[in-house]
Amino acid sequence: MKEKSGFFKRFIGVLTAGAVIFGVYCLGFGAGNGYDLKEAGGKLRAAEDLKYMQLSAATGERSLLDSYSDVYEAVRDAVVSINVTFQVTTSSGSSGSGFDSMIPWFNENFGFSIPEDSIPDSRGYQIEPPQGAGSGIIFHEDEENVYIVTNYHVVDGVASCQVSLDDEIMVPAHYIGGDEASDIAVLSVSKADAAEAGVEVYAVAVFGDSDAMEIGDQVMAVGNANGSGKSASLGIVSAKERTFSIGDANYIAAIQTDAAINKGNSGGALVNMYGEVIGINAAKLSATTVEGVGYAIPSNGFMDIVEDIVEDGEVDRPFLGIEGTNWLFNGEGYPDVPETGVEVVSVIEGSAAEEMGLEEGDIIVGFNGSPVTTMEELQNLIKETSAGDKAEVEIVRLTVSQSRRFGAVLNSVEAITLTGTIKNMTQGPSF
């Protein structure tokens, strides 16, 4: 019987996190990945280097606004409300929900009635797909479209999306591209669709320098709070370059604020007192002992990303597709077993690693001709590649059996070289 090589001594680094939730109003959906926001953005780009985003430096006009209402008015028409419908599947693979078998009982006992236009499952029951709401910021327009930046987690797993530019009329939005790692996505709305629906009022946001913000500076969070339409909440910059985690996500160099970031505020604007967008609201810390801890992605951390998405539909985020841990073994009694490397804990479905043939328990000892002794080394080597590049992974595969008398027994040690094509981390929805 083959089993994991758990009898070898391993070093496992575990990242623990507080309870942080997205500011997206939905029923049980979310996503995220580790990302260094400061490394991505760095200093504010020169205005002439940006094709799609409008910086305050380019307008030639900048002054503190007289009142909080003036700050809100400066961004109100550039912040949009987003309503989404999530894709759901039944256990049989058709559209629906795992709750479908209970629908007749609930209808009979509680008088529930599922709408006729809901998605039918394989047995003919009608399933209402889950709905969600978020926010977005208009950052560019051309002759045909208006372009909106939001959080990737707002649209992840979404089947359809509608946007209200004026907080009244909903128009269909289309997914341009996104980057799950940085939690940034770009949508577009056709001007023809907006005009046909009667939408006339909207504006393009002006973006400011998030690095110039100091702790104690006042800010305003504007967004579609609780899915009820645009609203504003006031606060300050509580901290800068904060790290916060959501599930497997680890965001570095985020802005912390005590401005209320409620459900539905994800993708909305964090605004300075000049009326400039200096961040995208992303999440809040939720705990019985915590109040007023919200997080925003700083503008300097996502401008380059937005530009790349508009140009190419994606950000080049090379992705091997494994979860791994550092491997340490003293080598005593097993000379063919590597002393260091990366043990594959799991292989992500559809990834380059799966297509190469990597398996759980494999020990990665080399990547593209360079030795691998730690996860950090492997990650740095992967970063040097691009999606579409050919890659070569050197592994050691251990075959282990379980014996009643001797316990775990090492049967064989095989050195293998696997080849494949690196993929992009974010695949994205289609709407």
- The DSSP letter of residue 47 is G
Q: Which residues fall within 8 angstroms of residue 284, CB to CB, at 6 or more apart?
A: 20, 21, 23, 261, 262, 293, 294, 295
Catalytic hit among 100, 166, 179, 183: 183
- Alpha-carbon gap, residue 87 to 159, rounded angstroms: 5
β-strands 249-257, 294-298 pairing: antiparallel
Q: What is the dihedral of CA 246, 251, 257, 258, to 10 degrees?
A: 20
- Residue in the structure block whose two tokens are 């994606």: 314
Distance CA 219, CA 271 (A): 5
- Continuous segment of H or E residues that includes residue 155: helix 152-155
**Burial of residue 287, with CB atoms counted within 10 A of its CB: 0-12 exposed, 13-18 middle, 19 or more buried:** exposed
Strands 249-257 and 35-36 turn out to be parallel
Q: Does the CA dihedral 378-380-384-388 come out positive or negative?
A: positive
- Tell me whether residue 266 is one of the annotated catalytic residues: yes
**Kind plus residue range of the DSSP H or E element containing 234:** strand 231-246
For residues 232 and 222, the answer to whether their CB atoms sit within 8 Å is yes
Among candidate residues 153, 156, 299, 351, the one labeled active-site is 153
How would you classify residue 241: left for phi > 0, otherwise alpha for psi between -120 and 50, otherwise beta?
A: left
- Identify the three-state secondary structure at position 163: strand
Residues in the chain: 431
Of 81, 164, 266, 351, which is the active-site residue?
A: 266
Distance CA 196, CA 132 (A): 25
For residue 343, give every residue at least 6 positions away whose Cβ sits within 8 Å of its Cβ, in sequence order, or none.
Answer: 5, 10, 324, 325, 326, 327, 361, 362, 363, 364
Residue closest to 57 by CA, chosen among 73, 66, 46: 46
**Catalytic residue flag (residue 153):** yes
Cα angle vertex 194, ends 192, 197, to 5°?
A: 110
Distance, CA of 335 to CA of 16 (rounded, Å)? 35
Residue 248 a catalytic site member: no
Q: Which residues are catalytic?
A: 153, 183, 266
